[in-house]
Structure 1
Amino acid sequence: MKKFLINLLTFGIVIAIIVILLLSLGTDQGARYVYKGNTAYEPVVIQPKEYQCSECSMDIEAMEYSAQIITPEGDTYFFDDIGCVVDWLEGRKIETKKVITRTLDTGNWVDVDKAWYTRTASSPMGYGFAAYEHKKEGLIPYEEMKLLMLQGKHLHDPFVKKSLLGQ
């Protein structure tokens, strides 16, 4: 009986330690993917690591590659890579008021349909797509970028990577 009580007490202490460790690793806010109440439909200013990508759950750190989707209700979803926007929209039936991305050349927020995209950027998810406000040689429009993304013709494909980067 004494051995049983010692084993039970040991088990209880181990469980308590695990619970305490798990609680200490959490945050008071938890994961943050959506900003509510953006009825001005303007880009929400955030700090690096303040929000996570709504598609891949990575912290948004490289702000120059970030994108936002704003719904008619004023919900703003955040993304670390324009490729994540394409994937996220493909899997959902959601009405959008604005879909905007930061541009590498000016740092401005622009509508994704008005931006031009490179295929060889060092984007956070490694797809290679990044937005530019001003058109220059070699950049492609959003619809072409979207099609290439959905077809898997981005830098994750070794054949695409070799043809674009020679690697």
Structure 2
Amino acid sequence: MKKKIWLAGAMATSLLLSACGDKSFEARDINPATDICKICNMSVAAEKYAAQVALANGDYETFDDIGCLMEYYTKTDKKQIGEAFVKDFSGDTWVNVETAIYVSDKEISTPMSYGVIAFKTKEEAQQFIDSEGKGKVITFDEVKAMDWSGHA
């Protein structure tokens, strides 16, 4: 009898601990017909510039430009953010904002003219720079340090 009670207690504890663990967040598909940028209220029509935040409460915020994402990201309590994603400019995949490789240049055309795009790998970012003849590879820390206010 004691063994059954102990086993039931161990299972209950295991379930409680797993419920309290880190929640995993995933990017969701963008719907250009209904997704509106949280900052500038424009439709998220050009996905290669899109970004999104999966909030800790399960909601999502979408953005039409990395600059709009960063305006939101830098002003929001990080406890509210589950995970943030940017669209890989050279493909169809979502990349975590912290691991993405960025290319910045005032000459790069983006929906809100912030001039920053994201790539999954440094090689893809360098290929873009080589083929377009403009841009500089920057890290997420450099992206965070940029002045994003009042641009849109």
TM-score over 0.5 (shorter chain): yes
Give the TM-score, by structure 2 length.
0.67
CA contact (8 A) 1:65 1:82 kept: yes
Q: Deviations over 1:22-52 (max 9, x none)?
A: xxxxxxxxxxxxxxxxx87322212223211
Q: Which of the pair is proportionally richer in strand?
A: 2
Q: Which residue of 1 aligns with 2:94?
A: 109
Q: CA deviation at 1:75?
A: 0.6
**Equivalent residue, structure 2, for 1:55:** 39
Which residue in 1 is equivalent to 2:111? 124
2:84 aligned to 99, 106, 129, which one? 99
Contact 2:51–2:87 (Cα < 8 Å) also in 1: yes
Counterpart position of 1:11: none
Secondary structure at the counterpart of residue 81 of structure 2: coil
In the alignment, structure 1 residue 134 sits paired with structure 2 residue 147: no
**Aligned residue-pair number:** 115
Q: 1:75 to 1:107 in 2, by over 3 A?
A: same
Given that 1:83 and 1:149 are in contact with CA atoms closer than 8 Å, whether structure 2 keeps it comes out as no
What SS does structure 2 have at the residue aligned with 1:84? helix
Q: Look up the SS of the partner of 1:97 in the other structure.
A: strand
Q: Structure 2: which 5+ runs fail to align? A: 1-22, 127-135
CA distance in 2, matches of 1:147, 1:100: 18
- Once the two structures are superposed, residues 72-124 of structure 1 have per-residue CA deviations (whole angstroms, 9 ceiling, x without a partner) of 21111100011111111223325211100101123210100111111133111
Q: Classify the secondary structure of the residue corresponding to 1:139.
A: strand
Moved over 4 A (4+): none
Task: Choose which of 144, 147, 165 in structure 1 pairs with 2:145.
Answer: 147
> For the aligned residues, what is the CA RMSD?
2.1
Specify the alignment match of 1:89 in structure 2.
73
State the one-letter code of the partner of 2:93. Answer: N
Q: Distance in 1 between matches of 2:61 and 2:53?
A: 5
Whichever residue aligns with residue 147 of structure 1, its letter is A
Instruction: For 2:112, give the aligned amino acid.
Output: M
CA offset at residue 133 of structure 1?
0.8
Q: Any conservation in 2 of the 1:67–1:81 contact (CA below 8 Å)?
A: yes
Over alpha carbons, which structure has the higher Rg? 1
Q: Is the 8 A contact 2:71 2:149 kept in 1?
A: no
How far off its partner does 1:62 sit? Answer: 0.5
1:67 equivalent to 2:54? Answer no
TM-score of the pair, normalised by structure 1: 0.62
